Structure formats: C-alpha cells, structure tokens
Chain A
Amino acid sequence: MTLFSTLKLAVRALWRNKVRTMLTMLGIVFGIGAVIAMVSSGQGAQQAVKDVFKSMGTNVLVVTNQNQRGPGPSAGGGGGAALTYDDIKALQSGEISTISAVAPILQTRTQVVSDQANWNTSVIGTQASWFTVRSWKAAEGMTFDEDTGNSNAKVTVLGRTVAVQLFGDARSAVGQTVRVNGQPYEVIGVLETKGQGPMGDNDDTMVIPLKTYQQKMDRGLAKYFRGMLLVQMTGDDVAEKTMADITALLRDNHKLKLTDEDDFRIRNPAEWAKAQQDSTERISMLLAIVAAVSLFVGGIGVMNIMLVSVIERTREIGIRMAVGAKPKDVMLQFLVESLMLSALGGVLGLLLGYGAAHLMADVFGWKMVFPVETAVIAFVVSGGVGVGFGLYPAVRASRLDPITALRYET
C-alpha cells in the first residue's frame, strides 16, 4: 500500500469522526501548548532576571558596612560605619589591578520640587564613575564629568521618571531647577530609560555629586562613609581574587586584628542573579514537568480513542484483510492515523503555546522568548506520542484474526 493512500485513508477516518478527533486532539493540543508556554515563559523569566542584574552593571561587586542593612544613611542608623572616604580613595587608586571603577553611593528618599510639581524620589550622591559602572548614558544633556562628580556643584542628572513627573518631559527638564530641602539644583541631563530593576523603577532617581550630597543632604563632610560602593571589575572571572584583595585592603586600612571579623561586607550580585536564575529555572522545570504530564495524559487519550476505533472498525479490518491487507498494512493504517492526530494536535498546541507565552510575556512584562528548539522537540514529541500510544492499538488491530474480525458484530 502506498504512503499516499495510507495518508488519505487516515485523513478520511479522522474526518469521519470530527468531534471525536477534535476532542482527542485537545489533549495533545493542551499538552504541547502547556509545554511550550511553560518553557517559553520560564526562559522569559530567566531572561528578565538576567536583564535586571545587567541593569545594575556588569562585573560589579557591592561593598557595604557590616551592620548596614541597606544603602544610605537612613538605613545606617546611629553610626557604626566602618568604611571611610580614605577607603574609597584607596580602592580608586588602582592598587588593586582588577578594579576598573568604584562608584560610592549615598542615597535617601526625599521630596523634590520643581516650579510646577513635586515628587518623592531617591536622591543619589555619587561620582562620575557611577555612570560608567551602571553603563548609563544621558538621553538629554549630559552626565557628570570627573570634575563635576568630585565637586560640590549644585547640579543634577535626573532619571526619566523624575524628569517627566517634574517637567512633563525629558527634553524640557534640562536647564531647569529642582529644589531639594530648599536647595536649588540645575538639571544638566536626563538619563536614558532603564525600566524596572530589582529595587523598583530604575528611572525614579535623581543624581547629584557626592560632595554636594554630603554637605546639603547629610551631616557634612565626614570621615566615615555610610553608603554603598559599587566596584566594577575588569572581568567576570576575577570576582574571587578582587573580593580577597578588597578584603585585605580594607582590613589593613581598618587595622583589624586577625581574630577580628570584617567590619564591611562584599557581595557579588552576579551570585544573587545566579541564585535567582537557578530558582526560576527550577520552577520552570517543575512547570514543564507538569506540562509534560498533561501531554502524557493527552497521549493516553489518543491511545484510548484508537483502541475504541480499532474495536469499532473490527469488521472493516476483517474486510480489508480478506481482500489482501497484510498485518503490516493494517498496523500502518492505524499508526498513521494516530500519528496524524497527534501531529495535528502538536501544531495547534504549538500555536496555542505561542499565544499563551506571548500573553504571559505581556502580563509579566518580560521579553517574549520563543524557544525554537523546544518547539521542534515538542512537535517531535507529539509525533512520538502518536506513534508510541498508537502502537499498541495498531498492533492489536494487525493481530486480529481475519475470520473473527469478519464475523464481528457491532
């Protein structure tokens, strides 16, 4: 029997029982759809985590005081800071060769005011290096140069959200004045948008020079630094060495004895990111397994309906055998039928999964990732399901005794 005739027979048999075919296919459709959607959204979520940490800067270490919970003096509480401005200078001196930039950050949330509006945002005091470390450029105007960053000039670079809230749009913000605690700051630039980050809206920020911050927002120039340091490294494979070097340098600077514990903390966001990613991966793996189970159940549905079909068509099988159908022909007929059922379900499932993944990407705000390999695998698997679960009914059909089959009364 030619392949084409076999295919035609299968199409006709499936078409004959349209409702049943569709219902059976649904099992495969949802199975494949779920697998695609789960894998796609899992990858999307992972990509989102990756992007978030990328927005913090790549190859960055975070150095804070030991007893400091979060960045900024508000969290620092009543002293206890161990990091000093000398430490910053030492780290920036180039003594540790794997450090490419250090950005000190002082930060607080406060009310900022323009002529038209006011807004509560996080004000950051830092140096020019901050823009490098976070690889953040100005969309309008400019960021700090070295001198501005080190000065106590009353200038500011606004995040897009702040610019929009205070001045309506980014362009018109440049050159305007923002008041914080009664002090006027000239807007010299507005940053490119970065969107959501791990600590909320990245663009909801206002950046001023570190020294200005100390003088106008904090307790004036001091010895101790109650903030956070972003340390950018020259590569991602030097994290351990750099952390060890920083530890040695800071311990030395702080004159800690061997038995003393560190009075500072160094964290590697890449590791948080990895942990985050690992957990998303685990969850998406779990979901994919659940989806695979539903595909399995769909496959059992195919097997079930093929068994029913074999029984219903026992007489037909008998007739076909009487006129010369070999066991192989009968087997192939049913196998192709279940293969077609599953493959068609697979295609529809692919579309459904794609749609669902798209929807989820929209809802959760991550990028749509369409896993091509997964799609191919899912399609092959659905075909495999068809063959795998269709095999038993098909073999059963082919083993029928012609005379018994011919006499079978439906």
Chain B
Amino acid sequence: MNDTGAPLIQMRGIQRTYTMGDNLVHALRGVDLTIEHGASVAIMGTSGSGKSTMMNIMGCLDQPTKGSYLLDGRDVARLSRAQLADVRGRMIGFVFQSFNLLSRTTALENVEMPLMYQGVPARQRRERAMAALERVGLAKRHDHHPNQLSGGQQQRVAIARALVTEAPVIMADEPTGNLDTKTSYEVMGILQGLVAQGKTVILVTHESDIAAYAARVVTLRDGLIIDDKTQTPLDARAHGDAA
C-alpha cells in the first residue's frame, strides 16, 4: 500500500452538492485534507456539518461534485462502479452507527460476506471470518443472529467484518452512536488496538469525548474544515478496564 509513497487520502477542493426537492444543499463547500497511512483521525462536527458526506466520499461510497480525491495515489473519479466496489472491498472496512448487519444471517456469515465478493473459497472464508470474530472476542457467538446479540456485540461483529479483508483502512461512522458508555469504551478500545497494529482508522463523530481517543481531530462546520489539530489520544483500553 505504501509503495506509491503517496498519502492515503488526498482531497483537494472537494465539493458535494445535493438537490433536495427544489433546494440545492451544499454538504461540502471545498475541503482540502490529507491523511497519511496509519493515522488515527476523528472527523468532528455537528449534525449537518458535512462530516458523514466526507466519510462517504473517502470511502468511495459517494462521488464529489467537484474537486479531486486521490486514494492511495489513485484518482477515484476515474474508477468505474465495479472498480470502486473493488477498492471498497479491498482497502476499506466500514463500521456504521446502525451496525448494518444482515438480519437472519449468522454473525459468521456476516463476517464472511466481504470475502465472498473477493472470490475467496468457502473453507478459507470460514477460517478467516472465525479469526476475525476471535479478534473482537465473539468467536463463541459465531452462530448467533444479529437480533440475538447486544448492540455492542453487533458492533463488534461489524468490526470483524471490516477486519476480515485485511483492509488497511477502517472507516467508522458514529460507531458508538447507538451504544452505552461502557460498550462505547470497548468499541473504541478495539479501534485503538487496530491503530496500534498499523491500520488507518478514520472516525466520524459528533461527541468530543469520543474524538478524544484519536490522535488527530478535524472539525467541520457547514461543509468547511474549521479546525485541524493533533493531540495525545486517551487510552480507551485503560478506561475500559477502569469501567
């Protein structure tokens, strides 16, 4: 991944405009942002600040209206839908606020799913998915359906799903938004552990105490970056132990 020497994320003059009925909504009004490999970044902002839009563009789920976005040196605007899907599958693991697990499908199968689209044979898929569940401490519950798991456990399954492809980037959109404080610490602990293992973790949140676990905090307001600072992150695992 690093062999291009390019930064992981390089955004220049990114704008994103939606039409909502008759109104034009400017979600992003020109954002420049560079994120290096292995970084731990929190994107902060209130609701409507454009932070989710920014993550969607970073994660190749959405395309900017204007501006250039290079992901690991590749111009995303030039990729086809199929290529974008491939980039998402191999480079990025998503963790969503609402978990986005497939219901009536076991935890193991949920974790296996990304590998299916990479053509990994069934046996390997199973092994890798089990290993990923092991990493989030849920191997024992691999045959549970999401509705049989607590919110925290569901989010851990989602994290396992993001890990299973060995993608270098984890993008988490309000990963603790639906969780209680204690579970939030657990989830943040896992994410911090991933940074320690060399992964890039990009976190979108509106809570400053969650952003405190990141080494860099980028703050958005009304579609523009208003603050970008580095900090010494809190250790969530210490917190978790304390709690």
Q: Which residues of A contact B (CB under 8 A)?
A: 1-2, 4-5, 16, 315-316, 318-329, 401-403, 406
Contacts and interface: CB of A to CB of B under 8 A. Distances in A.
B85 interface: yes
Given A316-B102, A403-B56, A406-B100, A323 B61 contact: no
Contact of A322 (B94, B116, B118, B119): B94
A37 B94 CA distance: 54
A325 B61 contact: no
B75 interface: no
Contacts of B176: none
Nearest to B103: A316
A209 to B, nearest CB: 85
B85 A327 contact: yes
15 contacts: A2-B119, A320-B117, A322-B59, A322-B88, A323-B114, A323-B117, A323-B161, A323-B165, A324-B85, A324-B86, A324-B89, A325-B85, A325-B117, A327-B82, A403-B56
A403 B61 contact: yes
B104 interface: yes
Contacts of B121: 2
B229 interface: no
B122 to A, nearest CB: 7
B140 to A, nearest CB: 23
B128 interface: no
A318 B119 CA distance: 19
B204 to A, nearest CB: 14
The 9 nearest A-B residue pairs measured at CB: A324-B89, A323-B114, A326-B85, A326-B82, A324-B117, A403-B61, A403-B62, A402-B61, A325-B117
Nearest to A398: B81
Contacts of A4: 122
B113 interface: yes
Given A1-B116, A1-B117, A403-B56, A324 B100 contact: no
B37 interface: no
Q: Among A324, A328, A402, find the residue whose CB has the most chain B CB atoms closer than 10 A.
A: A324
Given A5-B122, A323-B161, A326-B86, A16 B104 contact: yes
Given A322-B59, A325-B89, A326-B86, 19 more contacts: A2-B116, A2-B121, A5-B116, A16-B104, A315-B100, A316-B102, A319-B102, A321-B61, A322-B61, A324-B88, A324-B118, A326-B85, A327-B85, A329-B117, A402-B61, A403-B56, A406-B61, A406-B96, A406-B100
A30 B85 CA distance: 40
Contact of A327 (B56, B81, B102): B81
A337 to B, nearest CB: 15
Nearest to B101: A319
B216 interface: no
Contacts of B89: 323-325
Interface string B104-123: 10000000011011110110
Contacts of A319: 100-102
Contacts of A2: 116, 119, 121
A322 B100 contact: yes
B88 A323 contact: yes
Q: Among A16, A319, A322, A402, find the residue whose CB has the most chain B CB atoms closer than 10 A.
A: A322
B90 interface: yes
A4 B119 CA distance: 11
A328 B122 CA distance: 20
B88 A320 contact: no
Contacts of A322: 59, 61, 88, 94, 100
A321 B85 contact: yes
A131 B202 CA distance: 99
A14 to B, nearest CB: 13
Contacts of B85: 321, 324-327, 329
A1 B119 contact: yes
A127 B114 CA distance: 88
Q: Among A2, A319, A321, find the residue whose CB has the most chain B CB atoms closer than 10 A.
A: A319
B86 A323 contact: no
A315 B103 CA distance: 11
B90 A324 contact: yes
A16 B89 CA distance: 27
B94 A323 contact: yes
A401 B101 CA distance: 18
Nearest to A399: B81
Contact of B113 (A16, A315, A323): A323
Nearest to B93: A323
A1 B61 CA distance: 20
Nearest to A5: B116
Contacts of B113: 320, 323
Contact of B82 (A323, A328, A401): A328
A320 B161 CA distance: 11
Contacts of B62: 401-403
A334 B161 CA distance: 23
Contacts of B94: 322-323
Contacts of A406: 61, 96, 100
A402 B100 CA distance: 13
Nearest to B89: A324
A244 B101 CA distance: 86
Contacts of A320: 113, 117
